[in-house]
Structure 1
């Protein structure tokens, strides 16, 4: 039964060992049985938190434009060990992070186009901050966006 549960969950999407362990616990699978099944799945390569973390970082950083901080938070919630998180997130360069922030800001800019430039800046800065980008990255991205020349100084507040 435990093996079938794990395989069904892994068929839908990759998962961490803790996510699978939690799912088995919710289905009242005895802990010894769950550990045995998860150990076997790890042996055959179906459960690998290091590979999961690497794939998660690549996917989320590109598709959802998350910062290194945001990626760390998500992986921690999924139960990935701190060392594996740092290895995976460490592969994201400052340039990659800047590019993700820029892509998110440009996307957000399209949705706030008709608003006052000050409001546009605030909303974009808020969106970037919620994704975990630093003030330095936010300020840099805001300075690159075409808001209009009349209030370029407001980007300085985020650097």
Structure 2
């Protein structure tokens, strides 16, 4: 067995919802190094969970508070929420995401459905997650990178979990006039196809425009225009 396999087998599974005692009292709420908005929940001499300060306040946690089964469950659930919230915020700090992308990321980390729903609700309330704004921005970015049809952009947005109506609206706005977009793309493609014979160039132009979702009629009109530009 390789050292990597041995390491993988010996690695402890990640605990997202800890076992919190349902009796006794809270000993202390201890600051967490490098995480100023969280506190460790100390019972006896052991830190059993870590919660956001806002959730500690909502639960009314304090030293010497008596534990109950209901409170223990709430502490465990909020410990998991903190992990899920941190994970979602980290992903959003790297780049904008759709709601489904955040949900899928949290599911892969095996978070419970009720925790995922709560994270999404808090992100939306904070204005950090808005699928309409995301769709508009993502469609515009895709169109800037390389001209494409409304159908192509809509497909890309739906792959990211955007609702059909929202995707269609954003794609239409970003794509603009289909013939203008197709001509622009064809002219870009012509730069690498000038050395090809006319038949090969026509075939490759057609394929490139088709892959970006343009209709046959639009493709033919765009190719005629750019081929006319290249005529002496």
Indicate whether 1:41 and 2:129 are aligned: no
> Which runs of 5 or more structure 2 residues have no equivalent in the other structure?
1-82
Q: State the match for 2:159 in structure 1.
A: 77
Question: RMSD over aligned Cα, in angstroms?
Answer: 1.6
Indicate whether 1:143 and 2:211 are aligned: no
For residue 145 of structure 1, give the secondary structure of its aligned residue in structure 2.
Answer: helix
Given that 2:150 and 2:168 are in contact with CA atoms closer than 8 Å, whether structure 1 keeps it comes out as no
Given that 1:62 and 1:100 are in contact with CA atoms closer than 8 Å, whether structure 2 keeps it comes out as no
List per-residue Cα deviations over 1:55-90 (Å, max 9, x = no partner): 111111222212101011111111111121122123
Cα distance in 1, alignment partners of residues 224 and 146 from structure 2: 22
Query: By percentage of residues, which structure has more strand?
Result: 2
Q: 5 Å matches for 1:21-32?
A: 21-32=103-114
Q: State the match for 2:94 in structure 1.
A: 12
Count of aligned residue pairs for this structure pair: 148
Cα distance in 1, alignment partners of residues 137 and 98 from structure 2: 12
Structure of greater Rg: 2
Structure ranking higher on relative contact order (CA contacts 8 Å, 6+ apart): 1
> Which runs of 5 or more structure 1 residues have no equivalent in the other structure?
150-159
Cα distance in 2, alignment partners of residues 128 and 93 from structure 1: 14
For residue 111 of structure 1, give the secondary structure of its aligned residue in structure 2.
Answer: coil
User: 1:118 deviation in Å?
Assistant: 1.1
Cα distance in 1, alignment partners of residues 100 and 85 from structure 2: 15
Aligned CA distance change for structure 1 residues 93 and 68 (closer, same or farther; 3 Å) = closer
Indicate whether 1:52 and 2:134 are aligned: yes
Q: State the match for 1:116 in structure 2.
A: 197
Given that 1:67 and 1:131 are in contact with CA atoms closer than 8 Å, whether structure 2 keeps it comes out as yes
User: 1:140 deviation in Å?
Assistant: 1.2
Indicate whether 1:133 and 2:222 are aligned: no
Indicate which of 67, 74, 96 corresponds to 2:149: 67
Query: By percentage of residues, which structure has more helix?
Result: 1
Indicate whether 1:107 and 2:214 are aligned: no
